[in-house]
Amino acid sequence: MKTFCGRANPTTGALDWVEESEEYDYHQEIARSCFADMLHDHDRNEKYFKGIRAAVSRIKDRGERVVVLDIGTGTGLLSMMAVTAGADFCYAVEVFKPMAEAAQSIVKKNNFSDKIKIINKHSSDVTVGPDGDMQEQANLLITELFDTELIGEGALPSYEHAHQHLVKAGCEAVPHRATIYAQLVESELLWRWAQLQPVEVEGARLVPPPAVGRCPGAHSVCDIQLSQVSPTNFTPLSPLCTMFSVDFSKPVSSAFQSHSTSFVAQSGGRAQVVLSWWDLDMDPSGTIVCSMAPSWMYPQPTMAPWRDHWMQSVYFLPVETQVAEQEELSLTVCHDDYSLWYSLQSHSLQDVRAKTLQSRPSCTCQAHLVWNRPRFGELNDRQRTVSYIAALRSVLAEDRVCLSVSDGSLLPVFAHMLGAKKVFSLENSRMSKQVIEEVLEANSVKGGVALLEIRPEQLTSQDLGGDQISVLLGEPYFSTSLLPWHSLFFWYCRTALAGLLRPDASILPCSASLHVVAVEFQDLWRIRAACGTCEGFDVSPMDEMVQRSLDFRESREAEPHPLWEYPCRALTQSAAVMTFDFTQCVPEQPSSSRGSLPFIRIGRCHGVALWMEYHLTDDVTVSGGLTQPISEQGTCEWSRHRKQGVYFLRSAWDSSGDGGAAVSYSFTFEPSLGDIKMDFSITDQ
């Protein structure tokens, strides 16, 4: 059965009504789930297996039957480990129906159906008793309920309920304990993701609004692959602090708690950021440890296990604080049932902080709601700002009337500071409009930019005071963009505004180009690779489920990833495969591009990376992808501000690097849909 669905098109800006199968959302959820990442995490699996064996043995040594409750069973892997280790029976709970069905198939395929019962419910809905989901309470609690922040997937309420209703007092638990670690640092790189920095505009200084500087920022955690942030990008101000531990074998509370650790500052500097991660002790003695520490914490960084389902956390302090070397400080972490937040106190100010500890940081300036963290980083990128100012300077004059089309952009402010006669800016929301108004007011140029909360196709000459637009400018940046080419919305806006442009109007950027390169991923390939067997268990039904959903549509589409977090090597040269001329309106007819990229380096090709480059003028280009030329060895350096597109090949290809084979590509831009269809294959040259 099919149904009509209304969807906002991020490229055209239109509301498209499309006919979709009723199973589309189901398949999309599975296709984008990255379940395979956990199954490819051998370190995690091995530590769980060891912990489960030890826990089963301890219970057996007490002369008890081993009854397991496995919450969040997924594929049923941990339950199968438990039965293999000698457990008498397992109740495996999985709330996501497709995964519960896959677990049922996997358990049957591995001949464990008589020892494992799959329960398709949330654990808080599970009942115990003769007519319940569980015949008896469990004495071994096994869970995998964690996210990068440890508790963000509701681990604490689930444990709390399980101890109250589903497991016996004194039960064993795997993992047995979790410990949170934190380190206070100064980092100009990371702090740029939290606060707007002053900008130099040809001798003038654009300062952020005071409200932004006072704002504690967005409350959500910033989860990243911290291994890709070099230790040269931050200065530790504290030792690595043990903040608190949770013993999962005992009753757990999801109520508000705070924990403080005192230390002496090991270096002076600006206290800005807290880096945090956690360990799992799989046994009570802490001899079986699964660590989330970044690679640079290991004696041999290359030996650190890679995982994308659990990364590391970055927390931005509510205010930047200058600390002195040897100063006595306290770092406090608070948590509710789903999130953590940090604050810093000087021992001389401890009385002042008592009232603020229970207050979770939240944005009060609205800027952190308009600009996400990568966007803050982009706005604070000095080199990028210099490029835009140079391009603006080349097209501006005192008689110029400018119109900016980008979400929450500083470009119209720059245009005013550079002397444009009039500057207008189309803002996509009242909140965005208010933030830019505050920027103007903070710099005593209130009214210097006319902010219009109007869609491009609704703009009239009257809105512009009867003037025609002589400079149309954009970064382009739109908050609705997911994939790089969604920024072509600027082109559609330019087309809608054609009747308001002067015949000799300058368009900035004047064009954009789509670029591709075939790559070998160091680790990212794992999120799409089939597992087959995992720790000796056949999990192929999950592979088949994911592939069916990918084949439904997703396998023919690219997906967004911030590639600076996921190292890869280029196996071909990069190439511009399509160019979009913004000086002209969007064409009515589709355009296509075909070609091939010969393999010039030895390696295993997992897919193709895609990005956009914006040609502000004939001489100034800004890249949303590669920021440096590819090295001789194929090393790629990617923009930290925007996500790139990744098209995974269905099967990896081993390249000999002699040019005998190539990645053949086909692209079609369909203007009516605002979409780019693509296809890749490996061909002999």
- Are the CB atoms for 524 and 647 separated by under 8 Å? no
Euclidean distance between CA atoms 275 and 487, whole angstroms:
33
**Active site includes 588?**
no
Closest-CA residue to 306 (of 526, 22, 622): 526
Distance CA 249, CA 177 (A): 8
Report phi then psi at 304, rounded to 5.
-70, 135
- CA 462 to the chain's CA centroid: 42
CA distance 22 to 577: 35
- The 8-class DSSP code of residue 665 comes to E
Output the six-digit token pair for 639.
Answer: 């923009």
In 62-87, which ranges are continuous DSSP H helix?
Answer: 77-84
CA distance 163 to 171: 9
User: What tokens were used for 317?
Assistant: 């302090």
For residues 530 and 36, is the Cβ–Cβ distance under 8 A? yes
Question: How many Å apart are CA 404 and CA 451, to the nearest integer?
Answer: 9
H/E run at residue 668? strand 661-670
Q: Strand, coil or helix: what is 262?
A: strand
> Residues 6 or more apart from 62 whose CB is under 8 A from it?
none
Strands 559-561 and 568-570: unpaired
Query: 3-class DSSP state for residue 28?
Result: helix
CB-CB contact of 85 with 56 (8 Å)? yes
Pairing, β 422-426 against β 401-405 = parallel
Among candidate residues 94, 144, 160, 565, the one labeled active-site is 144
**DSSP state, 22?**
T
Strand 15-21 relative to strand 2-8, pairing: antiparallel
Question: What is the distance between the alpha carbons of residues 277 and 384, in angstroms, rounded to a whole number?
Answer: 32
Among this protein's residues, is 153 annotated catalytic? yes
Quickly list DSSP for 507-561: EES-EEEEEEEEEEESSGGGGTS--SEETTEE-HHHHHHHHHHHHHTGGGS-EEE
Single-letter amino acid code for the residue at 523: D
Task: Give CA separation, 685 vs 562, 596, 661, 664, in Å.
Answer: 32, 9, 5, 10
Determine which one of 20, 46, 136, 153 is catalytic.
153
Q: At 171, is the secondary structure helix, strand, or coil?
A: strand
Q: Known catalytic residues?
A: 144, 153
